[in-house]
A and B are shown apart, each in its own frame.
Chain A
């Protein structure tokens, strides 16, 4: 009598599913996502008030206000300096203002360039902001991972159950494939990577120190205009009406200065307060890879769930039952 063994179930696909599940659970831990993702969420929230066209245009207008005042201040000094009375009156303020004007060239180039860069990246920021909160991202790995691990474990322990559970695994796999498409991760994640790349040179202590020094130089410049240049011009018999008519930017800077301070210092504060957050999130794998972190496991899960488990050969014993003697062959040997 030959004892016909039941066809061996393919157990390796279930084992691989379990490994994938464990991998998905451990990946966020390995990447430190549980601490870094909330930092990223904080950074996005901090930037929200500033990352609008209106606000970014406002910063550009602030820079223009200062730049125009520098230009017209130099004109005013040049024109008033022609008379000996004017030259005498401006003797003290003129060199200081020229120094400020020279510094402004660098400030405008660097800080203005930064604002242009940020503005150009507004669509990238908006794409990132439209994604689900970063705080949820670790769970997007852990929850499917846990489900997958449970399914694989049950499948390995009870083959009969796997026949129905495999379809749950297939659905989970499909969900992993569909999710990045549904939240437009394929288009948004590269934009996020682009945004992170742009901020790489902005969100540093070195750059912050430069911006802080520019702020200081702008404050000194505004003080020069308000407290020294305008009084000196008036003292040199340039009337308020003439100043208003010929050098309006000087008065505009004065009028808008508090608004400029109100505008810029919170932006510098946001830059300063998010250097750590930026560094945390930039140490994660590139955002470009994130869609694939869902898509690839999803596809593998689908294939393995379909391949693995209960495929029976014709005439084979039910693997879910105890082995029995094959009655056809009974007694032949």
Chain B
């Protein structure tokens, strides 16, 4: 290999590596601290064990298997904050009083709410969000259903628009074997 060829090879490697090194900080995961507002298009669907979905007659969506949800008084899901159930968690009819994350929403005639019993955290890598939302629970009819999981989605840093989706099977209780399919979409407001 001639010296000229060696120099060309080194130049090529430098040309290829330098931009990657320069972009590395941007590619590394960064924490997303703020509020995920839950906007129109957000929903939960209950998948039945035998396939198909549970129809909620009280859903405002045309397709009753989608129960649409919107932010509650806390603005949505807050990273780094456990949005626990109030005390008491239910009224005498079994309606959830948890109104921080979502506005309590009618499910078959009784309002359900959503809580987080431990602070969730979210990180952003590129435009991909990974959220540790394992301690999210749905409360309905004086019962609590663990519905958290590791969640994934996308985030547009320019518009602050995000989308998160996950699904979690219910273990035990009246909906044992059902799977909650969640989609949250809206804007993210950093703290």
Contacts and interface: CB of A to CB of B under 8 A. Distances in A.
Contacts of B142: 262, 266
Interface in B25-67: 48-50, 54-58, 64
B174 interface: yes
A226 B93 CA distance: 18
Contacts of A266: 142-143, 174
Contact of B172 (A222, A223, A272): A272
Given A223-B58, A262-B141, A272 B176 contact: yes
Nearest to A257: B109
A219 B57 contact: yes
B153 interface: no
A268 interface: yes
Given A222-B109, A261-B94, A261-B108, A273 B141 contact: no
B19 interface: no
Interface string A208-231: 110011011001101110110000
Categorize the interface residue count of chain A: 20 to 34
B110 interface: yes
A213 B49 CA distance: 9
A241 interface: no
Given A208-B176, A209-B177, A258 B57 contact: no
A265 interface: yes
B173 interface: yes
Contacts of B176: 208, 212, 272-273
A273 B58 CA distance: 27
Contacts of B48: 212-213, 216
Instruction: Determine chain B's interface SS by DSSP, over half rule.
Output: loop
B175 interface: yes
Listed residue (B48, B54, B143, B174) with the most chain A CB atoms within 10 angstroms of its CB: B174
A181 interface: no
Contact of B50 (A213, A223, A269, A272): A213
Given A261-B109, A262-B141, A265-B143, A223 B174 contact: no
A234 to B, nearest CB: 18
Instruction: Determine chain A's interface SS by DSSP, over half rule.
Output: helix
Interface residues of B, number: 24
B94 A220 contact: no
Contacts of A269: 143, 172-174
A291 B170 CA distance: 41
A220 B107 CA distance: 11
A257 B54 CA distance: 18
Contact of B58 (A209, A227, A262, A268): A227
B163 to A, nearest CB: 28
B140 to A, nearest CB: 9
A205 B143 CA distance: 20
A209 B58 CA distance: 23
Contacts of B109: 219, 222-223, 226, 257-258, 261
Interface of B: 48-50, 54-58, 64, 93-94, 108-110, 141-143, 172-178
Interface of A: 205, 208-209, 212-213, 215-216, 219-220, 222-224, 226-227, 257-258, 261-262, 265-266, 268-269, 272-273
25 contacts: A209-B49, A209-B177, A212-B176, A212-B178, A213-B50, A216-B48, A219-B54, A219-B108, A219-B109, A220-B57, A222-B108, A223-B55, A223-B56, A223-B64, A223-B108, A258-B93, A258-B109, A261-B94, A261-B109, A262-B93, A262-B141, A272-B172, A272-B173, A273-B172, A273-B173
List 4 tightest A-B contacts by C-beta distance, closest first: A223-B57, A268-B174, A272-B176, A219-B108
Given A219-B108, A257-B109, 7 more contacts: A205-B177, A212-B48, A223-B55, A262-B93, A262-B141, A272-B173, A272-B176
